[in-house]
Structure 1
């Protein structure tokens, strides 16, 4: 069931409840009005009849009149429809009434359920009698019976008219609500179309500004999400191209090293080996053998360097902690003008291989960036752990950069992709370091503000055990 149909049904049910409650109170008020009117009419008629009885109490001749004689002239009270007045003689015979036997209600008599709903019962609606006693002798009985049927018929006619108007109002309200809800939910089709385009990979789809406040908020959130997805997709494409380019560059570098270095060494070995085979003097053979031994050692160093670039051997042999220590040691040898402070936990314990290599590469990339771009004088590296996570904090006092600007290189983006692939977290705090000697820059803020706005801090949180499912995700 659609939301539009649900709203229409809810409003319809609410209108039905309101109409039912209104009808209940209308019938209740009409019943009280009919009861009051019939009771007042009965009291007035009894008062007049009492006066009439006193008028005839001095004349006894009418008592013996025939059946057709008019005693109280009740026929003249036929227009009093709310009461039925009857006179019975001492023998219980009806002598006179204000009702014609042929008199009946109109054709539009109210239904029985409506009469029952009026519930006109009680002591005030019961018949009342007056005993006619003259000179101590009982001569008959005058019976007055309230009859609200005519009044109920009038109420029914009025109620039918009101119900007709209410039904017309009910239909009009439902029609208006239907079209209003339909108009309100018309932008939903536009939202579904935009979601379909997003599903098909067209992240350039955007929603317009809607007049409805709720839909306008949804549209703005959708556009923000689309911007994020489009930016992420573009970054992923860019990273993919950069990864491919870096792979090709690495392959070219390896091919060049193998061709230029190892190829030359092999050529030298071949020449020396040929000299040994063709030489007739032992001294010449020894010299060639020494040359082969020297070239072989150089080849071993070259192969070791290539393997180190492909996969750090210390990481497999010594573990993450000692491998990071060795990495920092070699970096310190190359950058002697930078004071590096390290605080690495000695026993990191069992850690997933993907997490270990990611932590190593991240520290390696940070040190490379510091050496190339930071112009720092001091670097601090902290590696801590708890039961589930490994924490890396790398901080320098260099010139810093603006983290809000998307970098063109692969370094930071690659680090972020690696860490997010392991369900880890990465936070970067950095800002440009201003030169206090520049008067234009110095005029923009106080010295204390300039001193604070410098350096870079990278905080990384990695789970020690990353499942393959999480890594692939």
Structure 2
């Protein structure tokens, strides 16, 4: 049954139910037919015995019955006149055991067909019929013969078969019609299921533009609507993933170019200066000249250290490991404010932030870094409000400015915001961007407890 389709299972179940109903009906018909035959035979037997008893009582006082028939035989009960009693075979045997009279001495032609053998066996009337009734006939104390009354259900079986055969044909046609109707109805009902399966197969093979039609059935129409929304969302997600992949590749290349340029422009210049001063020291004939070159080398190497620290901070904010998230964010804000003294910064960062998972900490730091960079480049804001706090759902951060604002639905909002949102969603967080041109921007980020939180940052 596990390998059968739902459509085949329904056909099989309905067919079995119909067969069960037909069998129940057949058993009921057989039971009623058997009871009818027995009742008919028993009632006829009782009636015949009553009539024969009356005849015997009459013969005890009237000997006129000792008349010979036309064939020279003595007729006592005139049983040949009881030929219409079809459910009983009545025989009279004399005291020598010879058959003298019978109601079946004359062949009777019956209408209709004899019931088939299987029908007779199915009714099994013979197993419940009474044994033949025997009645001794004694006249003036002398035994003259025996009446034998044997039940004969042949005629009743023929009548029942005539009635049942037509009914069986009608029921058979009805059952066949029901099966055909059920087959067509189930096939029509399951046609949308095949379309749904076809649509799922298309999605499985990457055809995300696949859509289902609107079905007539309410439940299937709801499935169709949800499938189409799912396919649209999946198609949009795949498209966004492709775009973000291209953006990530672009950002990686830009970062590599910038890093290579910084290494060449700054570290390269420092190394060139060190090389020149070192060569001067080697060629110097006076100690004062060598000392000046050594001092220059020391100054250059100190500048190189600062430059390398800045480069490393861009690659990985080491301050997170040293200070924790709360102080690292505070220090980032202070450094930015030192470079933008005309902007009022309201810093609402909780001092007891729980230390989240490393990936969450880096993401929060990078988002704030990106937002401050965007504010300085594009917003022309006078006031910036930054809030970072613990909430029941997890870590919460909001950055708001009163600058120019922008249209969040615009496709050209830049790689930074798209990259930030992708990183937040990758950590099972939510990022919401609210902005209206001319009315500032508010970015809210909410991380759930999915991140691994440790002790409070110190």
Q: Deviations over 1:396-438 (max 9, x none)?
A: 45569888887843345434433454xx4213456557999xx
Say which SS state the counterpart of residue 395 (structure 2) adopts: strand
Match of 1:7 in 2: 10
| C-alpha distance 88-116 of structure 1, shift in aligned 2 (>3 A) | farther
TM-score, scaled to structure 2: 0.78
* C-alpha displacement of 1:287: 4.5
Pair 463,360 (structure 1): closer, same or farther in 2 beyond 3 Å:
farther
Which residue among 389, 407, 414 is the counterpart of 1:409? 414
Residue 221 (structure 1) aligns with: 226
1:382 is matched with which residue?
A: 389
How many residues are matched? Answer: 441
SS at match of 1:108: coil
Distance in structure 2 (CA, Å) of the matches to 1:70 and 1:182: 74
Deviations 1:203-253 (A, max 9, x none): 112122233444433332322221121111111111111111212222222
Preserved contact between residue 208 and residue 219 of structure 1 (Cα < 8 Å)? yes
**Residue 120 of structure 2 corresponds to residue 114 of structure 1:** yes
1:248-397, aligned counterparts within 5 Å?
248-273=253-278, 286-320=291-325, 322-334=327-339, 337-345=344-352, 348=355, 353-365=358-370, 368=373, 377-383=384-390, 391-396=394-399
Structure 2 residue matching 1:461: 3-state secondary structure: coil
Give, in whole Å, the separation in 1 of the partners of 2:61 and 2:375: 134
In structure 2, the CA distance between the partners of 1:263 and 1:403, relative to structure 1 (3 Å rule), is closer
Q: Which residue of 2 aligns with 1:150?
A: 155
In structure 1, the residue matched to 2:30 is 27
Equivalent position to 1:233, from 230, 235, 238: 238
Measured after TM superposition, the shift of residue 159 of structure 1 is 2.7
Relative to the length of structure 1, the TM-score reads 0.76
Contact 2:433 2:444 in 1 (8 A): yes
The 2-side partners of 1:373 and 1:50 are apart by 126
Deviations 1:138-191 (A, max 9, x none): 655544333222211322343334334434444444344334433443344433
Aligned equivalents of 2:89, 2:380: Cα separation in 1: 113
Shift of 1:394: 0.8
Instruction: Say which of 446, 459, 469 aligns to 2:446.
Output: 459
TM-aligned CA distance change 1:70 to 1:434, over 3 Å: farther
| Unpaired segments ≥5 residues, structure 1 | 437-453, 467-473
> Unaligned 5+ residue runs, structure 2?
454-458
- Does the aligned pair in 2 maintain the 1:89–1:139 contact within 8 Å? yes
Structure 1 segment 169-248 matched on structure 2, within 5 A? 169-248=174-253
Q: Does 1:98 align with 2:103?
A: yes
Question: Equivalent residues in 2 for 1:434-449 (5 A)?
Answer: none
Give, in angstroms, the shift of residue 71 of structure 1: 1.7
Backbone CA RMSD of aligned residues: 4.2
Alpha-carbon distance between aligned partners in 2 of 1:206 and 1:374, rounded to the nearest angstrom: 46
Q: Which residue of 2 aligns with 1:166?
A: 171
Distance 1:420 1:458, change over 3 A: closer
User: Cα distance, 1:384 vs. partner?
Assistant: 7.4
